[in-house]
């Protein structure tokens, strides 16, 4: 797992406060797999500040890209990054999504920046499926043209009804599972509530669901235990897994969700 200096090639604002950052980082882009992430040191934050994890959105020809949303101090500072600046990256980290054998129909479910690893996944899966995309409003629906360029149909839902079906993306999933004859396999990235609902639906339907968890991280390499998640073991017990190293992708049946507080 290399730590490398990456050069900022392009940094562009997208809709809804999201931004696209393209970096030249051949040592990471080459081996990167869909669902893996990079741990980025943000220039301008004090040297002792933590790195921030970001999913890999694209990786080809020595370049990798991330999509991010400005939510706090780190991403606000990241948004000021000038083209040509060098940043320190660790990666590729984490296990990534499994690239299935083509016998099941992939159903990708994401919202906001959660669609970033799903674009990369759609470009590498052996069989095309469908992407179900949700968000608060139309500005949270990203990368629609990427999926369409790859030949994947896109269905959308927004909570305010500004694009697609009004409501949660899980309503699209319900409809899809009721109407499809193909054996589905689900891949999801987004907030915990959505992942939990997708996982529950997969278990009820008897299909597999690969869920990418978004936990707070410190080291990113399995050493500090800041990102632990309780999971079931094959023997019927539980153990603590590290989201950064054992994940971030887990099959729905592995995850022991916290009781709502
Ligand atoms: C495996 C993994 C992949 C990720 N991929 C991406 C990605 O592709 N794009 C991306 O934008 N982010 C991604 N994240 C989340 C990203 O790491 C955080 O958005 C980032 O660390 C926030 O840093 P910050 O300094 O701006 O905010 P902080 O200062 O750490 O947080 C400031 C405030 O924002 C809140 N906050 C933090 N994160 C979020 C969030 N995600 N949504 C809403 N509020 C939040 C905090 O609770 C806090 O109140 C990923 C996280 C993980 C674990
Ligand atoms: S962030 Fe340190 S163990 Fe996962």
Q: Where in the chain is the domain with CATH 3.40.50.80?
A: 105-254
**Is the separation of the CB atoms in 21 and 64 below 8 Å?**
no
Average pLDDT over residues 3-10: 91
Q: Where in the chain is the domain with CATH 2.40.30.10?
A: 3-93
pLDDT of residue 1: 67
Cα distance between residue 13 and residue 11, in whole Å: 7
pLDDT of residue 48: 83
Query: Nearest-CA neighbor of 224 among 216, 234, 232?
Result: 216
In the DSSP assignment, the letter for residue 169 is H
In the DSSP assignment, the letter for residue 202 is H
Average pLDDT, the chain: 94
Q: Measured in angstroms, how far is the CA atom of residue 49 from the centroid of ligand 2? A: 15
pLDDT of residue 182: 83
Least distant ligand from the CA of 212? 1
Query: Nearest-CA neighbor of 38 among 66, 19, 61, 18?
Result: 66
Share of the chain above pLDDT 70, in %: 99
Q: Does domain 105-254 have CATH number 3.40.50.80?
A: yes
Task: Assign 261 a pLDDT band (cuts: 50, 70, 90).
Answer: low
For 169-223, the pLDDT digits (tens) are 999 999 999 887 889 999 999 999 999 999 999 999 999 999 999 999 999 999 9
Least distant ligand from the CA of 37? 1
Average pLDDT over residues 74-91: 94
Q: What is the pTM of this model?
A: 0.94
Cα distance between residue 109 and residue 209, in whole Å: 10
**Is the separation of the CB atoms in 8 and 23 below 8 Å?**
yes
Q: From the CB of 99, is ligand 2 less than 6 Å away? A: no
Q: Which residue has the higher pLDDT, 120 or 17?
A: 120
For 98-130, the pLDDT digits (tens) are 998 889 999 999 989 999 999 999 999 999 999
Q: From the CB of 227, is ligand 2 less than 6 Å away? A: yes
**Is the separation of the CB atoms in 232 and 253 below 8 Å?**
yes
pLDDT of residue 198: 97
Task: Assign 15 a pLDDT band (cuts: 50, 70, 90).
Answer: confident
Average pLDDT over residues 35-63: 94
- Atom 7 (ligand 1) nearest CA: 54
Q: Hey, what CATH class is 3-93 in?
A: mainly beta
Q: From the CB of 37, is ligand 1 less than 6 Å away? A: yes
Question: Could you give the C-alpha distances from 35 to 17, 51, 128, 198, in angstroms and in order?
Answer: 23, 18, 17, 17
Q: From the CB of 202, is ligand 2 less than 6 Å away? A: no
pLDDT at residue 86 is higher than 80: yes
Q: Measured in angstroms, how far is the CA atom of residue 228 from the centroid of ligand 2? A: 7
For 130-141, the pLDDT digits (tens) are 999 999 999 999
Query: Residue 96 is encoded by which pair of tokens?
Result: 């990534």
Q: Measured in angstroms, how far is the CA atom of residue 226 from the centroid of ligand 2? A: 5
Q: Measured in angstroms, how far is the CA atom of residue 230 from the centroid of ligand 2? A: 14
Cα distance between residue 186 and residue 192, in whole Å: 15
pLDDT of residue 59: 96
pLDDT of residue 123: 96
């Amino acid at each position: 797992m290399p730590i490398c200096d990456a050069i900022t090639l392009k940094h562009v604002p997208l809709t809804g406060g999201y931004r696209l950052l393209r970096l030249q980082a051949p040592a990471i882009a080459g081996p990167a797999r869909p669902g893996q992430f990079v741990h980025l040191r943000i220039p301008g934050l004090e040297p002792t500040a933590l790195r921030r994890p970001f999913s890999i959105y694209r990786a080809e020809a020595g370049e990798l890209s991330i999509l991010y949303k400005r939510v706090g101090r780190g991403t606000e500072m990241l948004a000021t990054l000038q083209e040509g600046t060098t940043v320190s990256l660790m990666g590729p980290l984490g296990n990534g999504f499994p690239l299935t054998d083509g016998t099941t129909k992939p159903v990708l479910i994401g919202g906001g920046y959660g669609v970033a690893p799903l674009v990369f996944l759609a470009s590498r899966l052996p069989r095309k499926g469908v992407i179900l995309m949700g968000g608060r409003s139309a500005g949270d629906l990203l990368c629609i043209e990427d999926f369409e360029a790859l030949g994947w149909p896109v269905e959308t839902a927004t909570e305010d009804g500004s694009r697609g079906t009004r409501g949660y993306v899980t309503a699209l999933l319900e409809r899809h599972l009721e109407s499809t004859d193909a054996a589905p396999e689900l891949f999801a990235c987004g907030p915990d509530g959505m992942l939990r609902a997708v996982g529950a639906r997969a278990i009820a339907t008897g299909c597999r669901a690969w869920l990418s968890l978004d936990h707070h991280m410190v080291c990113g390499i399995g050493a500090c235990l800041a990102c632990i998640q309780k999971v079931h073991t094959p023997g019927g017990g539980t153990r603590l897994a590290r989201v950064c190293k054992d994940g971030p992708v887990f099959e729905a049946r592995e995850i022991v969700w916290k009781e709502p507080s």
